[in-house]
């Protein structure tokens, strides 16, 4: 349906950020005034610690406003990219924010020109801006002249053009044709394919939707490849201009992790997790009695007649109970999210696919986007996004805005651990073997598959793309498809047939336009798996350690964050333990399947009758 047709109770409430759009524009006027003030009072005068700190606090306020206003207008677009007025307004606001950033771009350059003793004094006196000053000093070897930095800032709004082109093509221009199976007509869209048809247990519906979906994507492969090549080439140019040894060092700089941790995550999973996931794929083939297992069948639920229908009200109750181990304050936040409409449940034309959580600094709410389909899959997704909300509720309250820029390496740990805590809760609610198999299959087929397979394969593909770019080459649609097909074949081997169209999966993921984001899901889940085990075994003491880690924001490196959670990621042991744990889950699923049989008695064993 169109956005205007969506019931209001299924939409998020952006008035939690600003009561009216006029209030947002008042903040934008303050932003412009602050930019003028910084330029007038501090340009050419940042020579002493007190001036530096005072100026940085003004910039801190500017960043708070930019984040809040930017979120307000951008979130309105995320739910309907076909709304030209909202897109235009968002672009206007983005231009104003960029102009203010350009006007004050001299600040960082001048600060780095100050004497070392002055900079150390500024760090000591900085309070909530000390972290930003430390990060600035870390960037010093890669900073350019003040004039060059100002030019780059002015061009910043155009640096995201490839991503804008991708989103507009994906969410506005691509229009899928309906398809017919057994005389019944089915509508097709990005969200319908990703949220419905990939899971459809009717093989004819599933495969027809698959073929129609990828056939339509192929019509847009060249424009999408051009946008992605431009984005990656931009990263290469910036890595060279700033003096990094290669594009990977440039992209990982903000994550504060060495290249080895990035490569380790991809290489070990591609080698050691693949055999376990091939077994899981074979199990799906066995349960569904498929002649062959294909890429179009990988998202099938292992026990389709057991999968319950879950209402939004059921989801609130289940998540609150599942996360109760985190304490009353955390559970209160869960209820608040439902009551105050933090969540956009709607499935409408033009809406961004997938899910995310935005937590504007200083706003007592987060904003969660997903497309609700009344499945347990959605409950896990919502628990995941509420993990982000809980994380940023904690660190935003404890830290200044500059200390909430959490490195990607562990930003997904607070979200993925919620999925594991939910699994632990569900396992305790029912001892029926079939129910237990269903819960374990949710964990493997959703939590671990999504984070350690889907996103990991994207990361492996992305690494090969950047290798080409780093060597001075470029990528076109054919190249990207060949890379993705090779990655799929390497991971799945002979177990899964890779049909025509599967190679175009590279066109579906917006994370490619966010640096090396994709690898961080499995890295974060590695930490989350170990932390969940601690909570399972140690209880409240482990929860308290986790809460302290959530509050720390970006004041620590990923290695230090993991250490706070009791995990040593300087070695490969936590990752190997995680893979072994996934393998043990699949072992148990296979054993339970042998006990209860491939098929189930749908008359006596529905999910709803088992008290889900």
Residue carrying structure tokens 């430390």: 134
CA distance linking residue 278 with residue 597, whole number of Å: 20
| pTM to 2 decimal places | 0.90
pLDDT band at residue 608 under the 50/70/90 scheme: very low
Q: Is 602 helix (H, G, I), strand (E, B) or coil?
A: coil
Higher pLDDT, 377 or 235: 235
DSSP 8-state code for residue 295: G
Longest dimension (CA), the chain: 79
Q: Does the pLDDT at position 609 exceed 50?
A: no
Residue 28's domain comprises 3-152
Strand order in the sheet with 356-358: 343-344, 367-369, 356-358
Least confident of 37-41, 110-114, 348-352, 463-467: 348-352
> What is the DSSP code (8-state) at residue 246?
S
| 365 pLDDT higher than 50 | yes
Tell whether 185 is covered by a domain: no
**Residue 491, pLDDT above cutoff 60:** yes
Domain presence at residue 303 = no
Evaluate if residue 603 carries a pLDDT over 70. Answer: no
Query: Is it the case that residue 568 has pLDDT exceeding 50?
Result: yes
Would you say residue 307 has pLDDT above 90? no
Greater pLDDT, 480 or 159: 480
pLDDT of 233 above 60: yes
pLDDT at 610: 33
Question: Left if phi > 0, otherwise alpha if psi is -120 to 50, otherwise beta: which for 354?
Answer: left
Residue 344 pairs with which residues in a beta bridge?
Answer: 369
Q: Is residue 498 assigned to a domain? A: no
Q: Is the dihedral of CA 303, 306, 312, 316 positive or negative?
A: negative
Highest mean pLDDT (candidates 232-241, 375-384, 603-612): 232-241
Structure tokens at 178: 């309906």
DSSP codes, 105-164: THHHHHHHHS-HHHHHHHHHH-GGGHHHHHHHHHHGGG---HHHHHHHHHTHHHHTHHHH
pLDDT digits (tens, 9 = 90+) for 118-146: 999 999 999 999 999 999 999 999 999 98
In this predicted structure, the answer to whether residue 10 has a pLDDT above a threshold of 90 is: yes
Q: Which own/partner pairs from 303-306 qualify as long-range (CB within 8 Å, at least 24 positions apart)?
A: 303/434, 303/437, 303/438, 303/441, 303/600, 304/201, 305/600, 305/602, 305/605, 305/606, 306/434, 306/435, 306/438, 306/600, 306/605, 306/606, 306/607, 306/610
Residue 50: predicted pLDDT? 97
Residue 82 belongs to some domain of the structure:
yes
Question: Does any domain span residue 65?
Answer: yes
DSSP secondary structure, 448-469, as one string:
IHIIIIIHHHHHHHHHHHHHHH
* Residue 407 CB neighbour total at 10 angstroms: 17
The alpha carbons of the chain give a radius of gyration, in whole angstroms, of: 24
Contact 474, 459 (CB under 8 A): no
pLDDT at 213 over 60: yes
Average pLDDT over residues 424-437: 91
Residue 65 CA, distance from chain mean position: 23
Please report whether residue 583 resides in a domain: no
Residue carrying the six token digits 């207008």: 73
Query: Does some domain include residue 466?
Result: no
Please state the length of the chain: 612
Which tokens go with 321? Answer: 């109970």
- Return the SS3 of 343: strand
CA–CA gap between residue 478 and residue 461 (Å, rounded): 14
pLDDT class of 598 with cuts at 50, 70, 90: low
The average pLDDT across 91-99 equals 96
CATH at residue 52: 1.20.140.70
Query: Which pLDDT score is estimated for 309?
Result: 84
Q: Give the per-residue SS3 of 541-563.
A: HHHHHHHHHHHCCCCCCHHHHHH
Determine, yes or no, domain membership for 12. yes
Rounded distance between C-alpha atoms, residue 481 and residue 502, angstroms: 9
* pLDDT exceeds cutoff 60 at 380: yes
Q: Is 351 left (phi over 0), alpha (psi -120 to 50) or beta?
A: beta
Residue carrying structure tokens 């699949």: 586
pLDDT at 611: 32
SS3 491: helix
Place of tokens 């759009």: 21
pLDDT of res. 349: 87
Residue pLDDT, tens place only, 245-275: 999 999 999 999 999 999 999 999 999 999 9
- For residues 72 and 24, is the Cβ–Cβ distance under 8 A? yes
Q: Provide the domain count of the chain.
A: 1
Q: How many angstroms separate the CA atoms of 390 and 332, rounded?
A: 10
**Cβ contact 575:264 at 8 Å:** yes
């Amino acid at each position: 349906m169109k956005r205007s047709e969506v019931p209001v109770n299924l939409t998020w409430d952006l008035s939690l950020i600003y009561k009216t759009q006029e209030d947002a524009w008042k903040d934008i006027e303050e932003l412009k005034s602050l930019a003028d003030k910084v330029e007038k009072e501090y340009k050419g005068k940042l020579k002493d610690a007190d001036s530096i700190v005072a100026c940085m606090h003004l910039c801190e306020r500017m960043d708070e406003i930019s984040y809040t206003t930017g979120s307000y207008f951008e979130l309105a677009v995320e739910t309907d990219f076909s709304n030209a007025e909202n897109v235009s307004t968002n672009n206007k606001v983005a231009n104003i924010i960029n102009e203010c950033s350009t006007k004050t771009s001299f600040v960082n350059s001048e600060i780095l020109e100050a004497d070392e003793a002055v900079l150390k004094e500024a760090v000591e006196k900085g309070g909530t801006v000390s972290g930003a000053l430390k990060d600035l000093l870390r960037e010093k070897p890669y900073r350019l002249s003040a004039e060059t930095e100002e030019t780059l800032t002015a061009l910043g709004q155009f640096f995201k053009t490839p991503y804008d082109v991708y989103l507009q093509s994906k969410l506005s221009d691509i229009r899928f044709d309906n398809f017919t199976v057994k005389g019944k007509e089915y509508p097709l869209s990005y969200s319908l394919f990703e949220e419905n048809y990939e899971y459809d247990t009717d093989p004819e519906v599933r495969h027809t939707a698959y073929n129609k979906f990828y056939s339509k994507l192929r019509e847009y492969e060249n424009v999408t490849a051009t946008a992605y090549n431009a984005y990656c080439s931009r990263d290469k140019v910036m890595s060279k201009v700033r003096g990094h040894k290669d594009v990977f060092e440039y992209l990982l700089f903000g994550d504060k992790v060495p290249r080895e941790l990035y490569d380790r995550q991809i290489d070990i999973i591609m080698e050691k997790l693949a055999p376990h996931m091939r077994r899981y794929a074979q199990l799906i083939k066995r349960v569904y009695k498929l002649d062959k297992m294909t890429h179009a069948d990988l998202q099938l639920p292992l026990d389709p007649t057991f999968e319950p229908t879950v209402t939004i009200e059921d989801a609130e109750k289940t998540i609150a109970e599942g996360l109760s181990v985190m304490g009353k304050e955390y559970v209160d936040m869960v209820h608040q999210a439902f009551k105050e409409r933090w969540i956009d449940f709607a499935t409408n034309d033009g809406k961004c696919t997938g899910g995310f959580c935005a937590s504007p600094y200083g706003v007592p709410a987060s904003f969660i986007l997903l497309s609700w389909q009344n499945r347990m899959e959605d409950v896990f997704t919502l628990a995941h996004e509420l993990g982000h909300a809980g994380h940023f509720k904690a660190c935003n309250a404890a830290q200044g805005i500059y200390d909430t820029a959490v490195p990607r390496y562990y930003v997904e740990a607070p979200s993925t651990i919620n999925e594991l805590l939910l699994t632990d809760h569900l396992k305790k609610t029912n001892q029926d073997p079939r129910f237990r198999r269903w819960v374990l299959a949710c964990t493997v087929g959703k939590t671990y598959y999504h984070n350690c397979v889907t996103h990991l394969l994207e990361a492996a593909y992305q690494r090969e793309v950047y290798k080409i770019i780093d060597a001075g080459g470029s990528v076109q649609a054919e190249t990207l498809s060949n890379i993705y097909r090779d990655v799929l074949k390497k991971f799945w081997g002979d177990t899964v047939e890779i049909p025509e169209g599967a190679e175009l999966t590279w066109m579906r993921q917006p994370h490619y336009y966010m640096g090396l984001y994709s690898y961080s899901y499995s890295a974060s889940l590695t930490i989350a798996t170990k932390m969940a085990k601690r909570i399972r075994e140690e209880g409240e003491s482990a929860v308290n350690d986790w809460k302290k880690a959530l509050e720390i924001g970006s004041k620590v490196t990923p290695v230090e964050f993991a250490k706070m959670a009791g995990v040593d990621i300087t070695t490969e042991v936590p990752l190997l333990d995680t893979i072994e744990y996934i393998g043990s889950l699949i072992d148990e699923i296979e054993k339970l399947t042998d006990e209860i049989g491939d098929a189930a008695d749908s008359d006596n064993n529905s999910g709803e009758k088992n008290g889900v």
